Amino acid sequence: METDMDSRKEQILQTVIHSYIFTGKPVGSHTVADSCGLRVSAATIRNEMATLEKLGLLTQPHTSAGRVPTDIAYRYYVDMLIGRTRPSPKDAEAIERLFEARTREIEGLLHEASLLLSTLTHTAALVFAPVTQADMVRHLDVVMLGEHRVMVIVITSRGQVGRMLADLGEPVSANTVERASRYLDESISGKALENIDSDSLVEGPGFGPAGRELVRIAVEAVRGYLSSIEERVFIGGTANIVKEMEHAGAEWVQTLLEAMDKQYFLLDLLKDLMCEKHLTVRIGEENRLRELQKCAFVGTSYPISPGLLGSLGVVGPTCMDYARTISMVEFMAENLGRRLLSPPD
Amino acid sequence: METDMDSRKEQILQTVIHSYIFTGKPVGSHTVADSCGLRVSAATIRNEMATLEKLGLLTQPHTSAGRVPTDIAYRYYVDMLIGRTRPSPKDAEAIERLFEARTREIEGLLHEASLLLSTLTHTAALVFAPVTQADMVRHLDVVMLGEHRVMVIVITSRGQVGRMLADLGEPVSANTVERASRYLDESISGKALENIDSDSLVEGPGFGPAGRELVRIAVEAVRGYLSSIEERVFIGGTANIVKEMEHAGAEWVQTLLEAMDKQYFLLDLLKDLMCEKHLTVRIGEENRLRELQKCAFVGTSYPISPGLLGSLGVVGPTCMDYARTISMVEFMAENLGRRLLSPPD
DNA sequence: GATTAGCACTCTCAATGGCAGAGTGCTAAT
DNA sequence: ATTAGCACTCTGCCATTGAGAGTGCTAATC
């Protein structure tokens, strides 16, 4: 079997891919002959393309249209044919500008990162910042909202914040709330989840029944927060999915968008990333999630704090500009990491 | 001009609207004659429909198709023809279940509210919880992330929380951060934005140059947070826009989705609501925002705390089931309000 | 032996025309 | 005022056609 790839086949494959990325239309032998730089005729190209088709790298939508790259071709392209590239100065600047302010609200930053990434790559972008599971309580506040209602705010040692509404069975006074807030802050601060003992706390300094209930509920809220992993994914540019993926069929786009609404769907995807250190590209059927099997996913992880990784990525058509997208995702991850990561002391 | 509406015209109009909402197809005179309950023939219906067309309430997509309601017809329908309705027990229960937990993380609650509302109404749902502008600082924390980086966390008296990253020019020690955190908490807590004086704070108790810079930056971060209105809109069910609005043309759906990504676009919309006390329905061109002029918006406000309103609403096709949607939006607003509002003491 | 020109073949796409169906407006009768 | 009936109009669907694009194969060429 003399069916191996040689450099000419590679060049033809590359030309087909580039042309297809650019025009979105199947590529014919003449087009390739004109623009591949090889000084051979269209007939030769045809022969080579026939072999590439046998190898599973190209297909024809119908008998007499040009060729279209398969998922396997994109895989080959990504692995072998594109070197490491950096974003263009203009793109790099756009990303860097996002990070130049000296003080920056975190949620806003992540949200804007997803928007920027999506507009630069014409894809839907996902940014995910996980929280560490078991953490210590740094500060606790109980804010009175009404006679029967308080808000419990907890700050963890890593700087995560939870705000919980809590309903009380019995009315409490502002005074009680204030005392409970101080008491709880003092007793809980510095403790980890497993060291917070509801029972002994309730036995605290002379609260009435209402006060005791308040303490109990507040502790319950804190426990609930610390044990539930409140994980948000920031999504930007879902509109791009509609624009770029129309050719894949309306009802399919539909399903993908629905899936994007469900956060747990994305969490699986993004958590996978955090296992691998390197940038990951999943093309078509390589994706485990059925909804993604008609598109490509490019993602990577970035450091948040020592021992904690976040992840980000984009979802776009399989015929995306991989070189550009990869460089952009990588660059965004680097910058985000640099901005968030606390360097080791 | 004897062109006024009479009760028969109303009934015909209503039948056309109901049928169009149900089937999505233009409605012919026979269909109306069969299902409107009037004991008249199709020819009579035709005459009446011709008048309704002259009145601007119906149109024909082409010469010989059935009739389709105009925006004006929907307006008339909403104003005159539907009474106040409540959601079905099943829908009501679904909404109530969202609120039954005794302690609940707020962001998660709002997010899920938008998801639920969108699935129940088959529209895109928006939930907006504003923050009061000038508020007092209740608690302040500075968390060390690295030698050159801290996180400033501020809790306002209303229970809003901001987390800001801040970069420092000079390295600081854990000790300094800890001292500064306590110092700032004690000096700033209870103060409103305009009473926070950076200069005098920096003159605090014997910090070195690094400590002073830290204080200065932290205050800057707090000021930044308190003056910027960190406003988030929770969006659910954008996929429904694609599903329900296909007939309006792909590139238009495209523009709407892009607009939904931009939060400021939605903020205008949602803030408008908070001026009016009642539920608002804007149909087609009644919307000021061009992107919405091919769909309908149903929204209302809900109380968050005394003197503070949030708002929520849905965006769907003009041929939506207004009765159902309105009842759902209203019911969700009531429940959300009841859950969030602190009743006056 | 690799490459190429030439040609027949296949398939898509856009335009065309015909036909059934749905719905209308109008007129004349009730 | 209402209705039955009829001619008319327009869409949607189907089949047909012809141009165009691209292929695979064969035979000639370097």
Q: What are the pLDDT digits (tens) for B286-326? A: 999 999 999 999 999 998 877 778 899 999 999 999 999 99
Identity of residue B323: A
Q: Which residue has the higher pLDDT, A92 or A306?
A: A92
Quote the pLDDT of residue B2. Answer: 40
How many other C-beta atoms can be found within 10 angstroms of the C-beta atom of residue A300? 23
Give A22's pLDDT tier (boundaries 50, 70, 90).
very high
CATH number of the structural domain B89-130+231-341: 3.30.450.40
| Long-range contacts formed by A177-184: CB under 8 A, 24+ apart | A177/A142, A177/A143, A177/A144, A177/A150, A177/A214, A178/A144, A179/A207, A179/A211, A180/A142, A180/A207, A180/A211, A180/A214, A180/A215, A180/A218, A181/A140, A181/A141, A181/A142, A181/A143, A183/A215, A184/A140, A184/A142, A184/A215, A184/A218, A184/A219
Q: In angstroms, rounded to a whole number, what is the distance separating the alpha carbons of residues A187 and A181?
A: 10
The gap between B66 CA and C21 C1' (Å) is 13
Quote the pLDDT of residue B145. Answer: 81
Q: Is there a contact between B71 and B79 (Cβ–Cβ < 8 Å)?
A: no
Task: Note whether B250 contacts A242, CB cutoff 8 Å.
Answer: yes
Give SS3 for B74.
helix
Q: In angstroms, rounded to a whole number, what is the distance separating the alpha carbons of residues A193 and A205?
A: 22
Q: In angstroms, rounded to a whole number, what is the distance separating the alpha carbons of residues A238 and B238?
A: 9
Select the CATH number that applies to the domain covering B137-228 from these four: 1.10.10.10, 2.40.50.1070, 3.40.50.2300, 3.30.390.60: 3.30.390.60
DSSP letter assigned to residue B262 = S
Average the pLDDT over each of A25-34, B199-208, B268-277 and give the range with the smallest value. B199-208
Quote the pLDDT of residue A55. Answer: 93
Mean pLDDT of chain A: 88
Beta strands in chain A (DSSP E): 58-59, 68-69, 103-105, 124-128, 137-146, 149-156, 161-167, 233-236, 280-283, 295-305, 308-317
Quote the pLDDT of residue A84. Answer: 87
Give B11's pLDDT tier (boundaries 50, 70, 90).
very high
Fold of the domain spanning B2-81: Arc Repressor Mutant, subunit A (1.10.10)
Give contacts of A143 with chain B, Cβ < 8 Å. Answer: 138, 155, 157-159
Question: Mind telling me how many Å the CA of B197 is from chain A's nearest CA?
Answer: 18
Q: Which residue has the higher pLDDT, A22 or B131?
A: A22
Q: Measuring CA to CA, which residue among B66, B194, B72 is closest to residue B133?
A: B194
Q: In angstroms, rounded to a whole number, what is the distance separating the alpha carbons of residues B281 and B243?
A: 21
Q: How many residues does chain B have?
A: 345
Give contacts of B228 with chain A, Cβ < 8 Å. Answer: 105
Task: Note whether A250 contacts B242, CB cutoff 8 Å.
Answer: yes
Give SS3 for B58.
strand
Q: B3: Cβ–Cβ under 8 A, 6 or more apart, which residues? A: B51, B54, B55
Q: What is the mean pLDDT of residues B62-86?
A: 92
Give SS3 for B308.
strand
Q: Which two tokens stand for residue A254?
A: 């539909």
Give contacts of A243 with chain B, Cβ < 8 Å. Answer: 254
Chain D positions with any atom < 7 A from a protein CB: 2-5, 8-11, 20-26
Q: In angstroms, rounded to a whole number, what is the distance separating the alpha carbons of residues A214 and B195?
A: 33
Task: Note whether A257 contacts B239, CB cutoff 8 Å.
Answer: yes
Q: What is the mean pLDDT of residues B106-113?
A: 91
Task: Note whether B165 contacts A115, CB cutoff 8 Å.
Answer: no
Query: For residues A327, A330, A333 and A338, what is the CA-based torsion angle, rounded to 10 degrees?
Result: -90
User: What are the tens digits of pLDDT across the range A86-113?
Assistant: 999 999 999 999 998 888 888 889 999 9
A305 vs B145, B164, B228: nearest CB: B145
B66 touches strand C (CB under 7 A): yes
**Total-model pTM:** 0.90
Interface test with A, best of B116, B122, B151, B178 (most A CBs within 10 A): B151
Quote the pLDDT of residue B190. Answer: 84
Residues 200-219 of chain B in contact with strand D via CB under 7 angstroms:
none
Task: Please give the distance of CA A79 from its chain centroid, rounded to a whole number.
Answer: 22
Give yes or no for residue A129 having a pLDDT over 80.
yes
Q: What is the mean pLDDT of residues A254-262?
A: 89
Quote the pLDDT of residue A134. Answer: 56
From-to residues of CATH 1.10.10.10 in chain A: 2-81
List B151's β-bridge partners, or say none: B143, B165
Task: Please give the distance of CA A244 from its chain centroid, rounded to a whole number.
Answer: 19
Give contacts of B153 with chain A, Cβ < 8 Å. Answer: 155, 159, 161
Task: Note whether B221 contacts A103, CB cutoff 8 Å.
Answer: yes
From-to residues of CATH 3.30.450.40 in chain A: 89-130+231-341
From-to residues of CATH 3.30.390.60 in chain B: 137-228
The gap between A47 CA and C6 C1' (Å) is 16
Average the pLDDT over each of A166-175, A191-200, B135-144, B328-337 and give the range with the smallest value. A191-200
DSSP letter assigned to residue B166 = E
Quote the pLDDT of residue A345. Answer: 42
User: What are the tens digits of pLDDT across the range B15-44?
Assistant: 999 999 999 999 999 999 998 888 899 999
